[in-house]
Structure 1
Amino acid sequence: MSTSAMWNGISVKAGATFAATNAIVSMAEVSVSATGTDSATPATVSLSDVALSGASTCLSLQGPVRGYFRGSVRDCESGIKAEQSFDAIGVDWGDNKGPDPDGGGRPSLVGDHVSVYPWVGAPSIAAPETPGVYVHPPTDECADYLFIGVRGSGEMPTFGNMGDFVETIREEFTADVATYRPGTKVRAKGIEYPANPVPIGDYWPLLADYVPGAWQGAVELLATIEKEQERCAGTGEQIVISGYSQGAWAVHASLTYADLSPRIDMTRIAAVGLLADPQRLPHGLETQLGSALPSTTGILNIGHIGGAVYGFSDWLAGATDPAVRQWQLDSNAPISSMLYMNSIPESIRKVTASYCNRHDPVCGFGDNPSDISVHSYSVQSRQDLGRWMARTAEHLQQPLTNVIGVAGGGWGHALALRADGTVWGFGRSEIYGGEDYGPFPRPIVGLSDIKAVAAGGSVGYALKNDGTVWAWGSNDVGQLGNGRVEYEYGNVPSKIPGLSDVVAVAAGHASAYALKSDGTVWAWGDNTSGQLGEGSLTSRSTPTRALALANVKAIAGGSARNGYALLHDGTVWSWGDNEFGQLGDGTTAWRSVPSEVPGLSDVTSISAGYWTAYAVKADGTAWGYGANTHGQMGLGFATQDRVLLPVQIPELSNVQSMAAGQFSAYALLSDGTGRAWGEASWGQLGDGVPRVSWSWPVAVSGLSDLVAISGRPDSAYALRADGTLWSWGRNSGGQLGDGTYDLRRLPVRVGG
């Protein structure tokens, strides 16, 4: 420790420590330089009331350097140059505007992780006494939901301080939440704070206004959450929060702090939606929340704000004692170091989604938007973000229970049927004209009194108790059966005309089948391989009777343009594409008219996948035919890529029913357990083992008391006797319904 001294230059090596108080360092190329090697051997510099001046660089820090600098910089081209984090709060830069980015008259700052705010002369802020402003409706009466909105940089305080963008999210949230529970009450509050414009170009002169304003938004939001939770405790009111741009940054800050506060209940935060979130990650990591790449346009973004020159204070990373943090917040005390908002807290990550507008500079897109993904969690717009928040929040209020049926569809979506006759969907947003199901189950509006469901590649079907069939989704080849062929999606379920007395429904990829009570089969949609079974290759937009079929007991649709029927006499009939022998007739020739599969009798159930078909006999044995490219025939060491005639699957007995994915297969045994085999690269086997494929049946892990099993195309579903639904496998579209987009090699509860 040196005090009251003067030097012409100081150099501190790795592992060394230099401390000075009330000192002057000047007239050298570098006033003070320090070089650390790694985290184990840093340099340490602790400077208090030290004046640095008259050098090319006043303070040069290379590698890891610990310590701090308190003092002044004058007449230096570079005031501070640092490669890693360093505390330089409270420095006198010779101007209340702080450091100069271009060296235009006052010392500059070079480095991405130096904390400098507040400096000498920087303005301070105070926490608001009465946070928030009530809007929609203007009352403080507790409701089912409190929607808190934080507007973005430069937005006018319209809509009760919501701003235009967040107001759109609120509108969609309020409207969509009513699809779950009509009469649900939503009140809203907009956070009142400066929301100063983002500094552009020579942004340093605006820094003194921007940073304190952003901090004020975070503090006010935090105070609002705490106050409203205390006031409405015991009412069941849940909070949903949305922020746009700078407002999203404030949300990050507040929630990270709130996670550590004993005065805030994070379980009462039901959904968080971030629009133009400044904390986004580069393309490929879009389902995580983190820091966006710094913008190259000269526009200030989070790469500068949070982790670079300003340092929002260390009220998140510095003091680990919640009591200390609360004192810092309550007293508005200046807090050392910087703010790192690297993520939303784990406690609410599952209920958080972010969306960035294409070309929005705050997200760091610049002129190359392909560098950063424009969506995450399948949220495509601010309207969708509001809907996602509603579905997430309402899922927490109404978990999926009492399930009696399930259907996995192509392109990452699935349907669940509940005992009350309602249908719930989850998965990709592209399926139904942008009406995002999302990763949580949501009810399909307009459907009731349903007894069975089926799902195709981009279409859904529901069979009512009155024998009518309802359809929604894609209609480019007549899949909706309404007599039209159109490239627009049918978002609302509609009744298929002329179809009645139906007892079962099944779906292929772009074709569908209905079994009537008189034992006849009717089909519509794509017919390019004769999969409608009506003797031609002409696609049909209205139901047409399949030829040569009568006395049918059950039906199944294959993903590769096939149809199958089980007759009451125990025989199986097939038609359509036959490239891999999936018709089971010993050939690879397609057929547009159904014919009997040889060698199969006494069959009790059938199922079909992609180029594959399966049958269960009354004696509990399982049989398969078609493609074996991924071991989906379950034949062990057998290497043939196709099986043209039905073969018994070894190592399987006491089978009740079967299901098929794209290149995998599943069996439900009489003891209520499941078996799986075939492709496994997406975790489709549900046994927790990472592998590409497996040709022997393995047990699906952790599931018992199963009553149904379903799979297609790279995911699988199992229904337990207690009415809970479980899923595993690929989840890129949210088709597992567990609130994430994460691959699952082990079963997870849908809506769990």
Structure 2
Amino acid sequence: MQISQAQCWKTISNGGGFYVAIASDSTLWSWGNNLFTFDSISGASLLGIGNTHNITINTPTQISNTHDWAEVNCGLTFTIAKKTDGTLWSWGYNSMPGSNNTIFYGSLGTGNTSSTVPTLIMNDSTTWKTFSIHKEMATYSTHVLAIKNDGTLWGWGNGYNYVLGTGNTNIQITPLQIESDTNWAQVVTNSLYSAGLKTDGTLWGWGYNGWGTFGLPSTFLGDMGDGYQSIPIQINTNTHKKLAALNELLTVIKTDGTLWAAGNCSYLGGGCDIGNAFTYSNYFIQEPSGSTNFNDLIIDFFDDLI
């Protein structure tokens, strides 16, 4: 479906019933539901339009007059966007309703419960290289991992399953630095685990390894036991250039262009070349065997690798 005949779009992201997009002129737009309702509890402004009216906007509406938006990613009830100057901005709802109570998860990273307009994360001169958001209704797991331009790794939101890598499962309402290394290059996350690449190409993982997603032996229990790893741990000695995280599968591209996967191979459709599509592998297997021309990994809305 063509959204607008008069506008070309650079990027688009969707959350729980709403969309946010950056136009070709670097302006920011949104449409869809302005409130998120679940268990009869309503959230705040999802569209970033400055109010909490219970409305649905069916056509793209400009949020900001500035022409400096570079990247956008929506969680279930919130959005984070990056400007061309490297600053991060958020709006939406910091909580998820559950058990008739509002659980404050801190996914906005501002310390506030909600925001109706784009609000600066870390009100200083902080600039960011990249960020990764997880959204999932089933576990209410809402958190963010981000890398600053100085190569440090930061996290905020729900620490469920040790996905923040802070050594605990606490909720973090503002960005918290994860260890002290300054050579992080890429980070991905979901409700079960997180993974990152450093500038030297090494691969690191933290969170839950129950499906063998770290590609480590089945005897690996993690520093918290039962497969839980609370801080980043190096996974292997290979060098990599790209990674993608599905809920039970970690995929990586090595620097030689080969694609490898570990965990639940049903996400690959044909399995891990070691059985049927529902095979679990606790070690990395090349997919497909012999190919050496992979450059990028993309996960679609349905959590499939494409």
Is 1:467 aligned to residue 26 of structure 2?
yes
Q: 1:557 aligns with which of 130, 133, 145?
A: 133
| 1:163-178 map, 5 Å | none
Amino acid at match of 1:665: L
Q: CA deviation at 1:562?
A: 0.8
Structure 2, gaps ≥5 residues long: 37-42, 96-104, 136-140
Q: Quick one: structure 1 residues 709 and 546, their matched pair in 2 at CA, closer, same or farther if it must change by over 3 Å?
A: same
Distance change in 2, residues 1:448/1:713 (3 Å): closer
Change (3 A) 1:710 1:592: same
Name the CA distance, whole Å, in 1 between partners of 2:294 and 2:7.
25
Q: Deviations over 1:259-305 (max 9, x none)?
A: xxxxxxxxxxxxxxxxxxxxxxxxxxxxxxxxxxxxxxxxxxxxxxx
- Which residue number corresponds to residue 669 of structure 1? 254
* 1:169 aligned partner: none
- Counterpart contact for 1:672–1:707, Cα < 8 Å: yes
- Give the direction of change, closer, same or farther, for the CA distance of 1:552–1:664 in structure 2 (3 Å limit): same
- Aligned with residue 241 of structure 2, among 642, 656, 660: 656
Judged with a 3 Å threshold, the aligned counterparts in structure 2 of structure 1 residues 657 and 507 are, in CA distance, closer, same or farther, namely farther
Query: Which residue in the other structure is 1:587 paired with?
Result: 168
Residues of 2 paired with 1:685 and 1:644: CA distance? 32
Equivalent position SS for 1:496: strand
Indicate the residue corresponding to 1:337 in structure 2. Answer: none
User: 1:551-574, CA deviations, whole angstroms, 9 ceiling, x for partnerless residues?
Assistant: 211122122211222111111111
CA–CA separation in structure 2 for the residues paired with 1:696 and 1:487: 48
1:446, distance to aligned residue in structure 2 (A)? 4.9
Q: What is aligned with 2:299? A: 711
Q: Tell me the SS of whatever aligns to 1:480.
A: coil
RMSD of aligned alpha carbons:
2.8
**Aligned AA for 2:157?**
G
Relative to structure 2, which stretch is displaced further, 480-489 or 617-626? 480-489
Map Cα deviations across residues 102-158 of structure 1 (whole Å, 9 max, x no partner). Answer: xxxxxxxxxxxxxxxxxxxxxxxxxxxxxxxxxxxxxxxxxxxxxxxxxxxxxxxxx
The letter for the 2-side match of 1:557 is I
Candidates 219, 231, 243, aligned match of 1:645: 231
Aligned to 1:546: 121
Asked if structure 1 preserves the Cα contact closer than 8 Å seen for 2:249 and 2:267, the reply is no
User: Does the 8 Å contact 1:666/1:677 carry over to 2?
Assistant: yes
AA in 1 matched with 2:282:
S
The answer to whether the 8 Å contact 1:504/1:554 transfers is: no
Q: Quote the offset at 1:482 in angstroms.
A: 1.7
* 1:378-397 CA distance string (max 9 Å, x none): xxxxxxxxxxxxxxxxxxxx
Q: Deviations over 1:624-669 (max 9, x none)?
A: 2223232333323124342110011226x23112222223222233
How far 1:591 moved relative to its partner?
0.8
Q: Which residue of 2 aligns with 1:510?
A: 77
Q: Counterpart amino acid of 1:492?
A: T
Question: C-alpha deviations, 1:579-607, integer Å up to 9, x for none?
Answer: 21111111111110101111543111222
Task: Determine if contact 2:265/2:272 at 8 Å carries over to the other structure.
Answer: no
Match of 2:265 in 1: 680
Cα distance in 1 between the residues matched to 2:6 and 2:266: 36
Greater share of helix = 1
Say whether residues 1:532 and 2:108 are aligned partners: yes
- Closer/same/farther in 2, CA of residues 548 and 580 from structure 1, 3 Å limit: farther
Query: CA contact under 8 A between 2:75 and 2:134: conserved in structure 1?
Result: yes
Quick check: 1:662–1:714 contact (8 Å CA) kept in 2?
no
Partner of 2:283: 696
**Bigger share in strand:** 2
CA distance in 2: counterparts of 1:699 and 1:690, whole angstroms: 15
Cα distance in structure 1, aligned partners of 2:6 and 2:208? 37
The answer to whether the 8 Å contact 2:205/2:233 transfers is: yes
What's the counterpart of residue 62 of structure 2?
Answer: 495
In 2, Cα distance between equivalents of 1:684 and 1:474: 33
Contact kept, 8 Å, 1:446 with 1:493, in 2: the verdict is: no
Please list the CA deviations of residues 52-78 of structure 1 after superposition, one character each: whole Å capped at 9, or x if unmatched.
Answer: xxxxxxxxxxxxxxxxxxxxxxxxxxx
- Normalised to the residue count of structure 1, the TM-score between the two structures is 0.34
The answer on whether the counterparts of 1:609 and 1:659 sit within 8 Å (CA) in structure 2 is no
Aligned-partner residue type, residue 576 of structure 1 = G
Counterpart AA for 1:691 = F
Q: Secondary structure at the match of 2:304?
A: strand
1:628 aligns with 2:209: yes
Matched position secondary structure for 2:117: strand
Structure 2 vs 1, CA of residues 540 and 562 (structure 1 numbering), >3 Å: closer, same or farther?
Answer: same
Contact 2:249/2:264 (<8 A) preserved:
yes
Larger Rg: 1
Partner of 1:479: 46
Paired residues of 1:685 and 1:698 also in contact (CA < 8 A): no
Q: In the aligned structure 2, how far is the partner of 1:626 from the partner of 1:548?
A: 29
CA contact (8 A) 1:459 1:474 kept: yes
Q: Output the amino acid matched with 1:523.
A: S
8 Å contact kept, 1:507–1:556: no
Q: Is the 8 A contact 2:268 2:277 kept in 1?
A: yes
Alpha-carbon shift at residue 533 of structure 1 (Å) = 0.5
Aligned to 2:87: 520
Unmatched 5+ residue regions in structure 1? 1-441, 718-726, 728-752
**Paired position in structure 2 for 1:92:** none
TM-score (normalizing by structure 2): 0.78
- Listed one character per residue, the Cα deviations across residues 642-701 of structure 1 (whole Å, up to 9, x for unaligned) are 2110011226x2311222222322223333332222233454686463225332222233
